[in-house]
């Protein structure tokens, strides 16, 4: 008797707990959450001032003159949903949610782009994503020497700096000079990522510094002078051939950096190297490969280097980041490869002006992103009523079509199968699913590692993964509770509304009249009972389109 009662009691508790859990989960997913924005960037941002507008106008004039000279008619302006999709992909690595698009639509047309940028730049998803992309360039994709290097901590720290919009020169200054432990001074991981044989590697640090912060590839000079005429150093207009000495004098700035139980610190250590063709080693004094008179005469080695790298007259520093951010936003940098920008030009339209603006306005990354988002090339559509050629894309008179990166595709699959935004405020189950599924998918889709803008090709496995892969299967399953396909099927007033919702959620646009007619008809034919399965089919079709896997 007692046992039976106890059993009934336990069953009741279990049932109550299940109901409670379901209720929480349902409200967590379906209920509208009051989404408070995070702390915004460290203002004052002058991006909405007249001065900002004038800078944008000047930038755009450069492009329109360029197009006119080449006789190219620019593509018309892209619809705002397309712009929103581009920005979300570039800055958050995913597509906008249906809910976000509806909110955007409700804004006054003139303010829509800035409203969208405001939201994104204050969103922790954006700083997290950008931090990951920058980390690839600055410390690589490997997890490196385990004890002295904490990649994850570095990314989190960087994300925080980006969200607060710390001036870029101060950020890089800290990376180049930081001291202390990798755990509580995350910036030192820039140094400890290069540890070999127990100590940081001055040679790798020099190569990274040159590529990431100056946009020059001088790694070849490690072993020999440049006999091929591909590396030009010195100061414009009189550049000279790069030499092995150039490389090692840059490396010499890092010769005293050491790691001990107390973390990264510096001591005074002369840099010794045996140059090719020499019989013995020599000591080289640190010196930069150009703009040598801007190197402070006094101070600790890394301090002097950081001062020189971030000096306002060192335009290579600004060009490198402008080119990289442009690449992030378009999928293609202004100068290719992204880290090989000539010191004396010629430069494509936009680059010098953006670099100048960046220096003049306190190395403000948010401002740079806003400038590019308002630039005439970014606003162009990728289609037109007249024939578009490759020349249009090459000269930014039409938005270039680029293949999405693996994590963007994964992020977009997961986001489009959930109607509300998967952000920091999404519940933890959603976030966990987000991470594990994304990682698995990204590996299979073919991660590009550090090589940020180089497309390695190989598209059939990508197609197979989207057609038959586990992620798409799970995310579109109509019977599974909580997928967008199932929810739209259950909630849509009629077929037309269902088709529109699916298009907005997956492709961030409304269907064309032909598309709407065709798919409404398909849904109608299948009937209400099979509507969920029909939506599953529609979702599959949209996820497998070129439009979904490409930025446009």
Partner 1 sequence: MDSMRINRRTFVAGAALWTVAAESLARQAATSNKRPRSIIILWLQGGASQLDTFDPHPESPHSSQVRAVATSAPGIHIADSFERLPELMRHVALVRSVVSREGDHERATYYVKTGYRPDPTLVHPSVGAIVCHQLADDVEIPRHVAIFPGPWPPRGGFLGPQFDAFHVHDPASPVPDVRPFVPRDRLRQRTNELLDVVEREFARGRPANLHERTQHRRSIEQALRMMDSQQLAAFDVMQEPLSVRERYGTSQFGLGCLAALRLVQVGVRCVEVTLDGWDSHANNAEIQRERVKELDPAFAALIEDLQERDLWQDTIILCAGEFGRTPRINRLEGRDHWPHGFCVALAGGAIRGGCAIGESSPDVPEGSEKHWKHVVQPHSIADVHATIFQALGIDYRQQIVTPIGRPIRLCEGEPIRELLAG
Rounded least distance, CB 276 to partner 1, Å: 8
Query: Residue 133, interface with partner 1 (CB under 8 A)?
Result: no
DSSP string, 246-267: HHHHHHGGGTTEEEETTEEEE-
Among 279, 280, 298, 436, binds partner 1 (CB under 8 A): 279
**Cβ nearer to partner 1, comparing 107 with 440:** 440
> Is residue 266 near partner 1 by the rule CB under 8 A?
no
Distance CA 354, CA 345 (A): 15
Cα distance between residue 113 and residue 479, in whole Å: 37
- Applying CB under 8 A, the span of 66-74, 117-125, 362-370, 463-471 interacting with partner 1 comes to 463-471
Q: Does 547 bind partner 1 (CB under 8 A)?
A: yes
Site for partner 1 contains 449 (CB under 8 A)? yes
**Residues 216-245 contacting partner 1, CB under 8 A:** 217, 219-220, 222-225, 227-228
Q: Hey, what are 527's tokens?
A: 């009937």
Compute the radius of gyration of the chain from its Cα atoms.
Answer: 27
Smallest distance from partner 1 to CB 43, Å = 40
Judged by beta carbon, residue 158 or residue 414, the one nearer partner 1 is 414
Tokens, residue 450: 């550090």
Question: Would you count residue 197 as binding partner 1 (CB under 8 A)?
Answer: yes
List 28, 234, 446, 482, residue binding partner 1 (CB under 8 A)? 446
Kindly determine how many residues on this chain lie close enough to bind partner 1 according to the rule CB under 8 A: 66
Look-up: residue for tokens 């107390």?
262
Q: Does 346 bind partner 1 (CB under 8 A)?
A: no
Query: 382 or 415, CB closer to partner 1?
Result: 382
Q: Give the separation between CA 431 and CA 440, rounded to whole angstroms.
A: 15
Note the helical H segments in 209-363. Answer: 244-251, 301-309, 315-330, 351-360
Please name every residue paired with 219 in a beta bridge, in sequence order, or none if there are none.
none
Closer residue to partner 1 (CB): 436 or 514: 514
Only one residue has tokens 């100061």, namely 235
Phi, psi angles (nearest 5°) of residue 360:
-70, -25
Determine contact, residues 255/271, Cβ cutoff 8 Å: yes
Q: Is 387 in the site for partner 1 (CB under 8 A)?
A: yes
| Interacting residue with partner 1 among 7, 285, 464, 491 (CB under 8 A) | 464
CB of 243 to partner 1, least distance (A): 12
Q: Would you say 122 or 510 has its CB closer to partner 1? A: 510
**What are the strands, taking DSSP E only, across 362-442?**
402-403
**The one segment of 44-52, 214-222, 261-269, 371-379 that binds partner 1 by CB under 8 A:** 214-222
The piece of 132-140, 166-174, 410-418, 446-454 that touches partner 1 (CB under 8 A) is 446-454
Q: Are 194 and 201 in contact (CB under 8 A)?
A: yes
Q: Which stretch binds partner 1 (CB under 8 A): 63-71, 101-109, 179-187, 540-548?
A: 540-548
Return all residues near 447 (Cβ < 8 A) that are at least 6 apart. 141, 406, 407
User: According to the binding rule CB under 8 A, does residue 345 interact with partner 1?
Assistant: no
Among residues 37, 458, 493, 529, which is the contact residue for partner 1, using CB under 8 A?
458
Alpha-carbon span 246 to 251, nearest angstrom? 9
Q: Which of 177, 375, 462, 520 binds partner 1 (CB under 8 A)?
A: 462
Nearer to partner 1, 111 or 545 (CB): 545
- List of residues 6+ apart from 214 with CB closer than 8 A: 309, 314, 316, 317, 320
Q: Which of 127, 194, 416, 549 binds partner 1 (CB under 8 A)?
A: 549
Q: Is 360 in the site for partner 1 (CB under 8 A)?
A: no
- How many Å apart are CA 34 and CA 298, to the nearest integer? 54
First to last CA, the chain: 70
Question: Which residues, 311 to 340, sit near partner 1 by CB under 8 A?
Answer: 336
Query: Cβ(188)–Cβ(263) under 8 Å?
Result: yes
Q: What sign does the dihedral 98-104-109-114 (CA atoms) show?
A: negative
- Phi, psi at residue 220, to the nearest 5°? -60, -30
> What mask of x and - would describe binding to partner 1 in positions 388 to 407, judged by CB under 8 A?
xxx-xx-------x-x----
The tokens describing 255, both together, are 């010769």
Q: Is 357 in the site for partner 1 (CB under 8 A)?
A: no
Applying CB under 8 A, the span of 16-24, 33-41, 412-420, 438-446 interacting with partner 1 comes to 438-446
- Which residue, 164 or 454, has its beta carbon nearer to partner 1? 454
Burial classification of residue 383, based on how many CB atoms lie within 10 Å of its CB (0-12 exposed, 13-18 middle, 19 or more buried): middle
Contact residue for partner 1 among 69, 102, 360, 463 (CB under 8 A): 463
Q: How many angstroms separate the CA atoms of 379 and 357, rounded?
A: 20
Instruction: Decide if 46 contacts 365 (C-beta within 8 A).
Output: no
Contact residues toward partner 1 (CB under 8 A) are 196-197, 217, 219-220, 222-225, 227-228, 276-277, 279, 336, 382-385, 387-390, 392-393, 401, 403, 443-444, 446, 448-451, 454, 456-465, 467-469, 473, 512, 514-515, 518-519, 522, 537, 540-542, 544-547, 549-550, 552
């Amino acid at each position: 008797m007692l046992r039976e009662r106890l059993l009934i009691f336990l069953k009741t508790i279990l049932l109550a707990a299940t109901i409670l859990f379901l209720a929480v989960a349902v409200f967590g997913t379906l209920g509208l959450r009051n989404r408070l924005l995070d702390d915004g960037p460290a203002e004052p941002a002058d991006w909405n001032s007249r001065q900002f507008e004038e800078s944008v106008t000047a930038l755009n004039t450069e492009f329109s003159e360029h197009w006119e000279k080449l006789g190219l008619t620019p593509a018309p302006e892209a619809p705002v949903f397309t712009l929103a999709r581009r920005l979300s992909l570039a800055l958050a690595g995913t597509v906008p949610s249906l809910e976000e698009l509806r909110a955007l639509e409700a804004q006054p047309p003139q303010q829509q782009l800035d409203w969208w940028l405001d939201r994104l730049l204050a969103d922790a998803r954006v700083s997290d994503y950008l931090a990951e992309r920058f980390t690839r360039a600055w410390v690589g994709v490997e997890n490196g020497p385990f004890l002295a290097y904490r990649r994850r901590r570095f990314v989190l720290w960087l994300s925080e700096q980006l969200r607060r919009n710390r001036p870029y020169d101060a950020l890089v200054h800290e990376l180049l000079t930081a001291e202390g432990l990798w755990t509580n001074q995350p910036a030192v991981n820039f140094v400890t990522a290069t540890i070999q044989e127990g100590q940081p590697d001055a040679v790798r640090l020099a190569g990274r510094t040159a590529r990431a912060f100056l946009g020059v590839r001088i790694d070849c000079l490690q072993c020999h002078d440049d006999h091929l005429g591909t590396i030009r150093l010195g100061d414009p207009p009189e550049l000279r051939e790069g030499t092995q000495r150039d490389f090692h004098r840059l490396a010499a700035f890092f010769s005293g950096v050491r790691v001990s139980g107390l973390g990264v610190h510096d001591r005074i250590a002369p840099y010794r190297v045996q140059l090719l063709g020499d019989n013995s080693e020599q000591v080289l004094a640190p010196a930069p490969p150009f703009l040598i008179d801007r190197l402070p005469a006094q101070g600790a080695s890394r301090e002097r280097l950081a001062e020189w790298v971030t000096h306002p007259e060192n335009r290579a520093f600004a060009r490198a980041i402008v080119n990289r951010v442009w690449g992030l936003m378009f999928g293609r940098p202004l100068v290719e490869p992204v880290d090989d920008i000539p010191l004396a030009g010629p430069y494509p339209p936009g680059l010098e002006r953006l670099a100048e603006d960046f220096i003049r306005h306190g190395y403000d990354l948010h401002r740079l992103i806003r400038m590019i988002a308002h630039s005439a090339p970014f606003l162009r559509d990728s289609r037109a009523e007249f024939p578009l050629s490759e020349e249009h894309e090459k000269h930014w008179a039409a938005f270039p079509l680029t293949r999405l990166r693996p994590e963007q595709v994964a992020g977009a699959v997961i986001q489009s199968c959930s109607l509300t935004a998967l952000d920091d405020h999404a519940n933890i189950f959603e976030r966990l699913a987000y991470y594990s599924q994304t990682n698995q998918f990204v590996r299979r889709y073919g991660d590009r590692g550090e090589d940020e803008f180089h497309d390695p090709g190989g598209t059939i496995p990508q197609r197979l993964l989207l057609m038959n892969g586990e992620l798409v299967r799970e995310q579109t399953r109509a019977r599974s509770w909580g997928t967008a396909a199932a929810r739209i099927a259950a909630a849509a007033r009629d077929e037309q509304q269902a088709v529109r919702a699916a298009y907005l959620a997956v492709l961030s646009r409304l269907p064309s009249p032909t598309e709407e007619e065709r798919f409404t008809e398909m849904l109608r034919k299948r009937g209400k009972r099979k509507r969920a399965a029909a939506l599953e089919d529609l979702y599959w079709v949209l996820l497998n389109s070129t439009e979904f896997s490409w930025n446009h």
